[in-house]
Amino acid sequence: MKEDRKYEDYRWGEPPPSKRQFGYAVSLGVRLKDGMNRFQVSDAIDRLIAAKSPATREQLQAIRRLGGTLPREITQAEGEAILDLLERVVLKCRHCRAPVAIDDQECLACGAKQPRRKFRIAFNRKGQPILRKPRTFLGSLARLIIAVALILLIVNLIISRL
């Protein structure tokens, strides 16, 4: 149900948004509420634009630098969420098991060089980014061999019953 309230029908907070800002927000489809001020309307407009526009080149480069691979094109808001997630990830050193940030080149505890790790970035049902291990050739090959072995086993069982 679309709401057709005029600028004068809202009870604005201080300082109130300008009529031009109000018109822009309504044209974008921002949900306005009583008590909002100029800055809250501006933030709502920015969030809506970030949710609809594609990720910036800087965001994509930062995600790739941190080892993330993307399944699809992402929006600016999703790019920010992915970068927040990647910056919070703490891995364990392969030698001493001490915590190591994802973008560290070496372990601070033992000084061992850290190999660059890659992650597949997926999205859960709520649209939040999650990290997955990348698919490897050997892992895919192993799954294929297991599938073929199961098919041969089933065919063998069917033939032996005839």
140 vs 2 pLDDT, higher one: 140
**Contact partners, residue 134, CB within 8 Å, separation at least 6:** 69, 118, 119, 120
In 19-158, DSSP assigns E strands to 68-69, 90-92, 99-101, 119-123, 129-132
What average pLDDT does the segment 65-90 reach?
A: 85
Rg of the chain's alpha carbons, rounded to an integer?
26
Q: What is the pLDDT of residue 3?
A: 63
Reduced to 3 states (helix: H, G, I; strand: E, B; else coil), residue 63 is helix
Work out the percent of the chain whose per-residue pLDDT is above 90.
31
Q: What is the pLDDT of residue 74?
A: 87
Least confident of 18-22, 113-117, 147-151: 113-117
pLDDT band at 13 (very low <50, low <70, confident <90, very high): very high
Residue in this structure with the two tokens 């018109």, named with its chain if needed: 23
Mean pLDDT of the chain: 87
78 vs 139 pLDDT, higher one: 78
pLDDT band at 1 (very low <50, low <70, confident <90, very high): very low
Work out the percent of the chain whose per-residue pLDDT is above 70.
97
8 vs 67 pLDDT, higher one: 8
